[in-house]
Amino acid sequence: MIGPILWLALQLGRGAAGPIDPAAAAEGRKLYNRDCTICHGLEGTVGDRAPALAGDRRFLRSSAEELYDAIRNGIRGTGMPPSPLADAEVQNVVAYIRSLRAPAADTVVAGDSERGAAVFWGKGDCGRCHMVRGRGGILGPDLSNIGGERRPAALRDALTRSGRRLPRGYRPVKIRMRDGRAIEGLVKNEDSFSLQVLGARDLQLHLLDRSEAAEVIYSDHSLMPSDYARRLTAAEIDDLLAFLARQVDGRPQP
Amino acid sequence: MKARIGGIVLVAAQLAAAQVTFDDLGRADPSNWLTYHGAYDGQRHSRLRQVNTGNVRGLAPKWIYQVPGAHRLESVPIVANGVMYVSEPNHVHALDARTGRLIWEYRERSVPERGANRGVAVYGNRVFVGTPDARLVALDARAGNKLWEVKLAEASEGYWCPVAPLALRDRIVVGIAPGDDGLNGFLDAYDAETGRRLWRWEAIPKPGEPGSETWAGDSWKTGGGDTWLTGTYDPALNLIYWGTGNPAPDFDGDVRKGDNLYTNAMVALDADTGRLRWHFQFTPHDVHDWDAVEIPVLVDAPFGGAPRKLLVQANRNGFYYVLDRRSGKFLLGTPFVKLLNWARGLSPEGRPIRVPGVEPTPQGNKVCPPTAGATNWMSPAYNPDTSYFYVSALEGCGISYKSHDTFLPGGFPYMATGYVESPEEPWQMHVRALELQTGKLVWDHIQVGSRAYGAGLLSTAGGLLFAGNDQGFLTAHDARTGKPLWHFNTGQQITASPISYAVRGTQYVAVAAGGNVVAFALHEGAGSGR
């Protein structure tokens, strides 16, 4: 059994990891949008005089202590001044900034994860390609830890925005072989001489020499649809996001 | 050229045909290397003959795969239908076996590394691997997705799993480590589909069970006897053969008087139930850490004038044993190393006739072979064409010490001290060929400069025996004479066993060396003996 104080110390030691108190983050959001946006942008976006606090950019100051120190004491040599906020208020702003960067699992996501599971395996048909905890398909990435890896905004983008970057190992390809065979699938790996392809139809690996291919046609468009805003209702998308946010390796299944 | 692909039809994963069946495992088609030993019999004999005594001089490296972060792989690569699976603790890499290109990689998160990982098992479309925190994990063989995992034992108690699992019909058999910490061993079978445990065989009998009388007092509770190397299987008898590890504390036998069953033994278990059919204990009441986990090699051959189902093993204690694998009956035992001072021989039942006083003392005492063993985890091989059994042998002695130790739960050494190399007999590695039925030395190759063990052997129908060593050399010997016909310096210590396989008509020989997997084939233009 791990004591609460030790637990807290571990969470602080891990920096940005660990659950975030949603109430504190909500309070912090109000304070942030009131006091910080003269330099930083609204809702953590880039501002006129200071950088965005949300997003994928890696900041030197990312742990709760570092953020607290920057707000409480300012950052010398920059335009970041010490804050006049009370300590508890600073902690709330820290919670909000961490929530901007936190993976979905550590944030409060609207929606019902049980209904989201039904969407995942049912109407959304996500399990055709994606696996969660040993169930589902193998063409798409395994989502068993997706809640621990992606921010909520990135999850929403994946469902609703086209033109996303293809992750390595998932680029679609159509190969016409010199012997007349046609292979369609995903490029798991490739080089100037060989291709390692997971067949989209037979779900088997095809390990090919490039010299045996008459034509290799790549696609820049993921097999993953991006029109879930049309396929699903707004509530269903929220539910699906809630389900995905709960998927973390090593945590009990919802 | 780039174009959008439309209309790719997606099908459900379960429609894909199973890749590796029980029949495949039994047939052991030589183009694959489907199990730790290549085949259930543990012979490590490839029936491929494209590379042979006539052309092996043309063997050349085809590709090298560097396993990121690895420096001492003990993994025996598994090859199924052109895909090679290589493991290390927490990682599995699926490679194109013809090019060495990565197809997928599986990483365990947040699990501290511990010990070695000796390889995976394949069954259906699945890959099975043990973890440093004593779980068995099933992965999809095509994409590396985790399908299920089961806890073999409590990692917090100190257990871990370096064992390459053994796939049988619809079930995966796997052992456990480490007995040196006073943790009792077992052998488990799990349903390949669901991960449900089907049976467990406990290596140390509890009070009231047969064999418990071989443990004084409560010493059985911390008796050891783990199962850290992969055993073999006879499908006709439906028996699993698995060697067990040493008793604990290793060097102090005073606290565990008795034979200490079933440590340092060969056990034959019913594959359906896990029930013990027979056992043979090589070193009763061991005080030298002479695990008997070395590979039980199954051979059908005449013995005493009649055809017989044999099980042979070169044991860490320095003796080569021939048993009847139906009954466990001892047929023959003879030393395969010259430096052996602890026993005068074996009784008609196979029990060692001990030389009094050759055991660890507080001041130190010479024991030959040393605790490192006359051989160890490195696999032997058997060639049915020559009828020779091949073994990596260590000639040397140790000075063994003894003290008192207290068992600490949580995975701490419970060994009651250890050993050092005897300065009077510098350690020397050999590759040896023995006559199967007699254990008589046929040829002896000294691996000059090699003083540490680790590299196993591979026999091929091309009349070759492949061996490795701690200096990084992979060597091909004439299987009949031992004459080295080819060698290659991989540049890193070899502590795994080589394999052979074929893709699209080309035979490959591959081995893990240091942190690399190196694959060889005949140099194009070197001529082939197909």
Average the pLDDT over A78-84 and give the result.
91
Alpha carbon of A143: minimum distance to chain B alpha carbons (Å): 9
Percent of chain A that is helix, strand, coil (3-state, to 5): 40, 15, 45
Q: What is the mean pLDDT of residues A233-252?
A: 90
Does any CB of chain A come closer than 8 Å to the CB of residue B4?
yes
Domain layout of chain B by residue ranges: 22-522
Q: Which of B82, B101, B143 sits opposite A189 (nearest CB)?
A: B101
Q: How confident is the model at residue A26 (pLDDT cuts 50, 70, 90)?
A: confident
* pLDDT bracket for residue B106 (50, 70, 90): very high
- Write out the E strands in B384-438: 388-395, 398-400, 419-421, 428-435
Residue A61 pLDDT: 67
Q: Quick one: which of B510, B479, B530 has its CA closest to B64?
A: B510
Identify the three-state secondary structure at position A186: strand
- pLDDT, tens digit, 9 for 90 and up, residues B168-226: 999 999 999 998 999 999 999 999 999 999 999 999 999 999 999 999 999 999 999 99
For residue A57, the model assigns a pLDDT of: 60
Q: Are B184 and B230 in contact (CB under 8 A)?
A: no
CA distances from B479 to B52, B278, B376 (A): 10, 33, 21
Name the pLDDT band for B5 (thresholds 50, 70, 90).
Answer: very low
Q: Which residue has the higher pLDDT, B123 or A49?
A: B123
Please tell me which residue of chain A has the smallest CA distance to B9: A201
pLDDT digits over B359-393, tens only? 999 999 999 999 999 999 999 999 999 999 999 99
B8 and A189 in contact by Cβ < 8 A? no
Paired residues of A187 in beta bridges: A171, A197
CB-hemisphere CA count at 13 Å for A195? 27
How many residues are there in chain B? 530
User: What is chain B's mean pLDDT, rounded?
Assistant: 94
Tell me how crowded residue A201 is: count the other CB atoms within 10 A of its CB. Answer: 15
**How far A95 CA sits from the closest chain B CA (Å)?**
25
Task: Give the A:B interface size as CB pairs under 8 Å.
Answer: 108
Please name the residue of chain A whose CA is at the shortest distance from the CA of residue B101.
Answer: A189
Give the nearest chain B residue to A204 (CA atoms).
B142
Which of A138, A193, A194 is nearest residue B145 as measured by Cβ atoms? A138
One of B259, B289, B405, B470 is an active-site residue; which one? B289
Distance from CA of B2 to the nearest CA of A (A): 5
Instruction: Output the pLDDT for position A39.
Output: 92
Residue numbers in A near B105 (CB within 8 A) = none
Residue A45: the pLDDT is 82
Q: Is B202 exposed, middle or buried (0-12, 13-18, 19+ CB in 10 A)?
A: middle
Q: How far is A187 from chain B (nearest CA, A)?
A: 9
> What confidence category does residue B15 fall into, taking pLDDT thresholds of 50, 70 and 90?
very low
SS (H, E, C) B195-252: CCEEEEEECCCCCCCCCHHHCCCCHHHHCECCCCCCCEEECCCCEEEEECCCECCCCC
Q: Is the pLDDT of residue B63 over 90?
A: yes
| The predicted structure's pLDDT at residue B497 | 97
Nearest residue on chain B to A217, alpha-carbon basis? B2
Chain A residues with CB under 8 Å of B2 CB are 217-220
Does pTM top 0.95 for this prediction? no
Higher pLDDT residue, B176 or A65? B176
| Nearest Cα residue in chain A from B19 | A204
Give the pLDDT band of residue B524 (cuts 50, 70, 90). confident
Question: Which band of pLDDT confidence, cut at 50, 70 and 90, is reported for residue A60?
Answer: low
Q: Do B16 and A194 touch (CB under 8 A)?
A: no
User: Does the pLDDT value for residue A167 go beyond 60?
Assistant: yes
Contact check, Cβ <8 Å, A215/B104:
no
Tallying the residues shown for chain A, one arrives at 254
pLDDT at B6: 41
Q: Burial-class residue A125 by CB neighbours within 10 Å (0-12, 13-18, 19+).
A: middle
What is the predicted ipTM? 0.86
Q: How confident is the model at residue B477 (pLDDT cuts 50, 70, 90)?
A: very high
Sheet of strand B473-478: strand arrangement: B45-46, B457-460, B464-468, B473-478, B484-489
Q: Classify strands B276-281 and B297-303 as parallel, antiparallel or unpaired.
A: unpaired
Task: Please give the DSSP secondary-structure letter assigned to residue A154.
Answer: H
Instruction: For residue B147, list chain A residues with Cβ-Cβ distance below 8 A.
Output: 134
Contact B222, B407 (CB under 8 A): yes
Q: pLDDT by residue (tens digit) across A186-211?
A: 999 999 999 999 999 999 999 999 99
Q: Which of A134, A139, A196 sits opposite B146 (nearest CB)?
A: A134
Q: Which residue of A has its CA nearest to B193?
A: A134
pLDDT higher than threshold 50 for residue B40: yes
Question: Do residues B358 and B365 lie in contact, with contact meaning Cβ atoms separated by under 8 Å?
Answer: yes
Percent of chain B whose pLDDT exceeds 70? 95
Q: Band of the pLDDT at B109, cuts 50, 70, 90?
A: low
Instruction: Check A174 against B5: CB less than 8 A apart.
Output: yes
What value does the mean pLDDT take over residues B120-136? 96
Residue A50 confidence (pLDDT): 87
Pick the CATH number of B22-522 from 3.10.129.10, 3.90.1140.10, 2.140.10.10, 2.40.37.10: 2.140.10.10
pLDDT the model gives residue B84 = 98
Inter-residue contact B163 to B176 (CB < 8 Å)? yes
**Alpha carbon distance B188, B185 (integer Å):** 10
pLDDT of A55 reads: 67
What does the pLDDT read at residue B457?
Answer: 98
CA distances from B134 to B176, B353, B415 (A): 7, 38, 21
Is B83–A207 a contact, with Cβ atoms under 8 angstroms apart?
yes
Helix A234-245 and helix A113-121, axial crossing angle in degrees, nearest 10: 100
Confidence check: pLDDT of B358 > 50? yes
For the segment B313-341, the average pLDDT, to the nearest whole number, is 98
CA distance B117 to B137: 13
Tens digits of per-residue pLDDT, B232-258? 999 999 999 999 999 999 999 999 999
Give the per-residue pLDDT at A2.
Answer: 39
Is the per-residue pLDDT at B3 higher than 60? no
pLDDT at B113: 74
Q: Is the peptide bond before B369 cis (omega within 30 degrees of 0)?
A: yes
pLDDT above 60 (res B8)? no
pLDDT the model gives residue B526: 52
Distance CA B470, CA B495 (A): 7
The shortest C-alpha distance from B123 to chain A (Å) reads: 15
How high is the pLDDT of residue A7? Answer: 39
Contacts of A183 in chain B (CB under 8 A): none
| Whole-number pLDDT of residue A64 | 86
Local structure of residue B92 (DSSP, 8 states): E
How far apart CA B118 and CA B231 sit, in angstroms, is 13
Each residue's pLDDT tens digit, A98-139: 888 888 888 877 899 999 999 999 999 999 999 999 999 999
- Say how far apart CA B458 and CA B467 lie, in whole Å: 7
B window 110-149, beta carbon within 8 A of A: 110, 138, 140, 142-148
Is B289 a residue of the active site?
yes
Query: How many CB atoms are closer than 10 A to CB B228?
Result: 25
Can you give the pLDDT at residue A46?
A: 85
Q: Flag if A221 and B5 touch (Cβ within 8 Å).
A: yes
Domains of chain A: 4-102 (1.10.760.10), 113-164+224-245 (1.10.760.10), 171-218 (2.30.30.100)
Q: Secondary structure of chain B: what % helix, strand, coil (to 5)?
A: 5, 40, 55
Mean pLDDT value of segment B95-101: 97
CA B512 – CA B490 distance, rounded (Å): 9
Closest Cα in chain B, distance from residue A16 (Å): 17
Q: Are B495 and B429 in contact (CB under 8 A)?
A: no
Q: Do the chains contact at A194 and B98, CB–CB below 8 Å?
A: yes
